[in-house]
Amino acid sequence: MLWQKAYGFPSPLFWGTVSVLLALLVRWWHQKRKSTNSVPEKWRCVGELSELTVFPIKSCAGISLEEAECTECGIQTVSDGPLKLRDRFFIVYDEKTEEFKTARTYPKMLLINVTLDGNDAVKLSAPNMPELQIKVPQDSESNKRTHCKIWNNEKVETVDCGDTAANWLSKYVLNQDCGLRLGYYLADIMPRRVAAEKLKQCFKTFKNKDLGVYSDLTSFMLMTESSIDDLRTRLPPHVSIISRQFRPNFLVRGSLPYEEDKWKWIRIGETAVFKNVKPCTRCVLTTINPDTAIMEPKREPLRTLKGYRQLTDPAMLKVEGSSPALGIHLGLHNSGTVRVGDSIFVEDE
């Protein structure tokens, strides 16, 4: 119209274009928000839970379970008593440097087992060592609180489990009377860890609450039997592997190889819901047989994994380095009880 031209008002075509762009922007924002924060409405079954494992002491033997409770701090045993075994609530650390110690340096740690022993204690056992009962620290013993250092010198709080436990660990691992200590996490009074900013910037769905107590990263790690089976076909004939070398909490049967890489949401059973927050990068620990604590001489299967499972995203490479990936780290969205045999569901897009 003449008055629009005279006064410089935008044309109807302009406003129509703006309206379409705004509608597309709103739609995109809602889809993005739904995809990152909302539990899916539709699910499809991709397999079943074939193995469920808790690792009470970081870098020591795991315990196969038939059912477990999924909490923000990881899986824990289901029992009638007040004490439960929780995932990586114990940690071994150097009494002088306060640095945490793992089977990467001391492979025989993989042969240390822990079991419940009554309502307030656990029992440690290892080859050629007497069994040792340890009273699990309680809130009233907070005067024993100290710190130890994990990856990148991150300081985490722990409560020391006493000289008897320290002596037992030192004799078994170091063949000395001292040197190592055993720490325990008091969930009700100790703070949670805070993720590095570069990690959250690279992996957008990663939150502080996803960090495990003393685990390398998150409270949950999932792998699939099919991916391990495919890896077996690529290994030299003399190399054999078992799933426990990769230390997953959840092992899935029935899915396609490496399909888990693309799963965004995972539901196990009826109530426990998780988000895929990042790939699980692999280290030398995968080369150690968990039954014998012997390392494979040619660093298999790590060497083979590096040949075809390297990260390719430049941003991920900057954060993760050159380590290959196998399995996924999960963050808990809805808590619940899971059982071996439960169906595994993923978002049906």
**CATH code assigned at 279:** 2.40.33.20
Q: How far apart are CA 211 and CA 294, in angstroms?
A: 30
- Asked if residue 9 belongs to a domain, the reply is no
- Asked if residue 171 belongs to a domain, the reply is yes
Nearest to 74 by CA among 341, 340, 331, 343: 331
- Asked if residue 279 belongs to a domain, the reply is yes
Per-residue pLDDT at 93 exceeds 80: yes
Q: How much is the mean pLDDT over the chain?
A: 91
- Asked if residue 109 belongs to a domain, the reply is yes
- Asked if residue 31 belongs to a domain, the reply is no
- The alpha carbon torsion through 330, 335, 336, 337 (nearest 10 deg) reads 50
Per-residue pLDDT at 157 exceeds 80: yes
Per-residue pLDDT at 139 exceeds 80: no
Domains in the chain: how many in total? 1
Sign of CA dihedral 286, 292, 294, 300: negative
In the DSSP assignment, the letter for residue 34 is H
Q: How far apart are CA 37 and CA 196, in angstroms?
A: 21
- Asked if residue 61 belongs to a domain, the reply is yes
pLDDT tens-place string over residues 38-82: 889 999 999 999 999 999 999 999 999 999 999 999 999 998 788
| AA identity, residue 14 | F
Q: How far apart are CA 134 and CA 114, in angstroms?
A: 10
Q: How far apart are CA 289 and CA 242, in angstroms?
A: 8
What is the per-residue pLDDT for 181?
97
pLDDT tens-place string over residues 265-314: 999 999 999 999 999 999 999 999 999 999 999 999 999 999 999 999 89
Q: Pick from 12-21, 100-109, 149-158, 309-318 the range whose average pLDDT is largest.
A: 100-109
- Asked if residue 35 belongs to a domain, the reply is no
In the chain, what are the helix, strand and coil shares in percent, each to the nearest 5? 30, 30, 40
- Asked if residue 110 belongs to a domain, the reply is yes
What is the per-residue pLDDT for 140?
60
Query: What is the β-pairing status of strands 155-160 and 325-334?
Result: unpaired
Q: How far apart are CA 255 and CA 251, in angstroms?
A: 11
Q: What is the end-to-end Cα distance of the chain in Å, rounded?
A: 47
Range of the domain at 48: 43-347
